Amino acid sequence: MTAKGQGRTAFAYLAPALLVLGGLLAYPIYQLVLISLYDYGQEQVSGGAPLEFLGLGNYRNLLGDRQFWGVLGQTVAFAAVCVVGTLLVGAFLAILATRVRTWVRMTLFLAALGAWSTPAVAGSTIWLFLFDANFGFVNEVLGIQGFSWTFDKWTAFGLVAAQVIWCSFPFVMVTLYAGIKAIPGEVLEAAALDGASAFRTAWSVMLPLLRPIILVVTIQSIIWDFKVFTQIYVMTNGGGIAGRNLVLNVYAYQQAFAASEYGLGAAIGVVMTVLLLGITMFYLRALRRSGEVL
Amino acid sequence: MRRWLTEGFVLIIAAVVAFPLFWMVLSAFKPEDEIISADPVPWTTRPTLDSFTRALTVANFGRYFMNSIIVALIVVALSILISFLAATALTRFRFRSRTTLLIMLLVVQMVPVEALTVPLFFLMRSVGDSVPVFGLNHLGSLVLVHLAFSLPFAIWMLRGFVAAVPVELEEAATLDGASRFRFLWQVLFPLVAPGLVATSVLSFIHAWNDFLFAKTFIISAVENQTLPLALQVFVKPDQNDWGAIMAGSTLMTIPVLIFFVLVQRRLVSGLAGAVKG
């Protein structure tokens, strides 16, 4: 086939994909930036008031708003707790999994698979029920019936973080376990022959070999936990009392669809996209540095 | 001795991890008075299907279950067709802008789709003016967005599978007189099926689990709600029918659970293939 013919056939094959991606991803991204530059509220949507171009006005409002900075700080702190928790639990269990017999490991993996595959809404609801003030099993065991976990800001955040860790550690565990298993036995034998202790082997032999995998799961977790929406929304009923359990994603949603400040909501969306793209760039650079080819 | 301790510890952890799911299924089968008892116990002597009946009749969960199934299956079917064609074009043909397209596919996967609720909301609103089926309050709008979200990864992942099929096979098929169309659907398509399984499962789960877009798009049409939204609607402070909610959660979780267990091996190897590209 001629080069021109190839190109034509290729684009015929690509056309449906390009149509969908262009219309439903590329165009909305452009629109997101555009809307964030306007005063776009209920009146503008219904046509009752003319569109007013604000330039960076929404961003200026946002950066001058104390609540925004509070929510941003909370988002970062919440994501940090979830990421660290997920990695610690996942890594710890991955190491334990290499030291037990197959049936014990399969039992653990099966349980983890269950947590992993539970839909976020169902998972959040189950945890709410388990920690329910009056009918929850946890309060019954702890003997603190009537205690509401979701009322106080910090116990509410803690509960959501625990739920997030519950459903995201399996990914880390399974990936790290596969990584550990992929380390050639000779390397570990050589270390043992040289008289290295178990700790020394883990620290100086296994850790450097696992670094690329650890990097991948860390960044992946950061990206996921930064974007948590469902768990916060369901478990704190839309961001907690007076919005004290808000994270960026839920905040953007509330500004846009509850307060009808679509321009402001879009601006928060842009901020979040930029932050995540920054993390991703860092990720790609780190990947390349560790010798991974794309 | 030490191994016994470690194994005992691991089994306890497994039990803790599995406990929320156990509690969900157990509560779904408990009679109502045991659920709202002040002293809940982790067993029941009187299992009953009452909660399921309530969820399916009073809360109309059957309808929402069907809605979720319809959206997820259409997304999967369309995503298979479109991503297979696109992946073939990107691996089997050489043309200008091929590299640009590949890089764009990567970048687009990094965009947090949650940020796009506002523009997509208005897009669906205007689409609905001309084609109501794809507008707000209709399942079509959910199909469209989930299709768009699942495509970049599906194409990216299938690329590896298509590339793994030797070019000689295509030449042989052409020599035997097979048309390009026949080669595509009768030779190449079955060969990349393992890759299609992995991508389909991910597309299905994304569409099935989605809460944010269902909440944003399906505003007033109660009959077009999907499961996650329906479940959330029934969680009302102080007057929760926990039995029905747990029955609904069970109905929502079981399909994904079965899916996951069936394909986990393929999923992991498929993902590894995609990462290595």
Every domain of chain B and the residues it spans:
1-48, 64-276
Distance CA B167, CA B183 (A): 12
> Best mutation site among B5, B9, B17 for testing chain A: the one with the most A CBs within 10 Å?
B17
| pLDDT tens sequence across B199-233 | 888 889 889 999 999 999 998 888 899 999 888 87
Q: Which of B227, B83, B97 is nearest to B148 (CA)?
A: B83
How much of chain B exceeds pLDDT 70, in percent? 93
Q: In a 3-state reduction of DSSP, which class is residue A53?
A: strand
Task: Name the pLDDT band for B267 (thresholds 50, 70, 90).
Answer: low
The torsion angle over the Cα atoms of residues A225, A220, A120 and A26, rounded to 10 degrees, is 90
- Over 50: is that where the pLDDT of B275 sits? no
Q: Which residues of A touch B269 (CB under 8 A)?
A: none
Which residues are within 8 A (CB) of A44 and not within 5 positions of it... i.e. 6 or more apart? A38, A50, A51, A52
Which CATH number describes the domain made up of B64-276?
A: 1.10.3720.10
Distance CA A81, CA A78 (A): 5
Task: Name the pLDDT band for B273 (thresholds 50, 70, 90).
Answer: very low
pLDDT for res B97 = 86
Task: Name the pLDDT band for B237 (thresholds 50, 70, 90).
Answer: low
Lowest mean pLDDT among A191-200, B67-76, B243-252: A191-200
Q: Which residues of B touch A114 (CB under 8 A)?
A: 17-18, 21, 257
Higher pLDDT, A162 or B267: A162
- Do A102 and A181 meet the contact criterion of CB atoms below 8 Å apart? no
| Homologous superfamily (CATH) for A65-289 | MetI-like (1.10.3720.10)
Positions of chain A with pLDDT lower than 50, given as ranges: 294
How much of chain A exceeds pLDDT 70, in percent? 97
Binary contact (A110, B37; C-beta < 8 A): no
Q: What chain B residue is nearest to A219 in terms of C-alpha separation?
A: B110
pLDDT for res A291 = 61
pLDDT for res A262 = 92
- Over 60: is that where the pLDDT of B269 sits? no
State ipTM. Answer: 0.88
Binary contact (B13, A108; C-beta < 8 A): yes
Average pLDDT, chain A: 89
Q: Kindly list the distances between the CA atom of residue A79 and the CA atoms of A68, A248, B128, in Å, as whole numbers in the listed order.
A: 16, 11, 37
- Over 80: is that where the pLDDT of B235 sits? no
Binary contact (B6, A99; C-beta < 8 A): yes
Distance CA A142, CA A125 (A): 20
